[in-house]
Amino acid sequence: MASFFKLTIMKTLIYGYGNPGRQDDALGIRLAEKMEEWIREENITNIEVDYNYQLNIEDADRISDFELVIFTDASIEEMNDFLFTEVNPSEATIEFTMHAVSPSFVIDLCKKLYGKTPKTFLVHIKGYEFDFIEELTENANLNLAKATSFLKEKIKELTK
């Protein structure tokens, strides 16, 4: 099966993060996994998928090889099902007790260390419960399905 994506030259990374053992906090990773299945089924080239519990400063190196980066994460913010926002480089104050860094900080670090600033977006998916359970809530699953459909179409648009 020929794929539209074989014609694209934009190298893309989808990077999901969150804790799969904390119920809806797994939304970012679950979206990345769903996109990985779609990429495999459609035989799409030059789109890679990665996921982790949280973003780290080492991710600046990981994203430096890509033209487009799409981070995916759960959110407790007031929103409808999900949001898709552009991420711009931004410095952050790092403290000794910091457990994670933001996508904007990772992009800023990539720019400073490697002289590269990939076009970057974040898919925030609304979560509801964050207990120590390895299962998404029903509403989170609905939001995940909507975000997955949206992201498939958005990637087609962004990689043209």
Tens place of pLDDT for every residue, the chain, 160 residues? 445 544 455 899 999 999 999 999 999 999 999 999 999 999 998 999 999 999 999 999 999 999 999 999 999 998 999 999 999 998 765 544 445 789 999 999 999 999 999 999 999 999 999 999 999 999 999 999 999 999 999 998 987 7
The whole-number pLDDT of residue 1 equals 45
> If we measure between CA atoms, which residue out of 78, 70, 50 comes closest to residue 148?
70
Residue 103: strand pairing partners: none
Task: Round to whole Å and give the CA distance between 62 and 52.
Answer: 12
Cβ-based neighbour number of residue 16 at 10 Å: 26
The whole-number pLDDT of residue 3 equals 52
Tokens 């509801």 belong to 128
The whole-number pLDDT of residue 40 equals 95
Tokens 């999901």 belong to 16
The whole-number pLDDT of residue 9 equals 59
Task: Round to whole Å and give the CA distance between 99 and 91.
Answer: 16
Tokens 């990539």 belong to 110
Residue 134 tokens read as 């390895």
Cβ proximity of 38 and 152 under 8 Å? yes
The whole-number pLDDT of residue 90 equals 86
Q: pTM for this one?
A: 0.91
Q: Is 88 exposed, middle or buried (0-12, 13-18, 19+ CB in 10 A)?
A: exposed
What is the residue type of 60? A
The whole-number pLDDT of residue 95 equals 45
Would you identify the CATH topology of the domain 10-158? Rossmann fold (3.40.50)
> What backbone phi and psi angles, to 5 degrees, belong to 59?
-70, -15
Kindly list the domain boundaries of the chain, sorted by start residue.
10-158
The whole-number pLDDT of residue 7 equals 44
The whole-number pLDDT of residue 55 equals 94
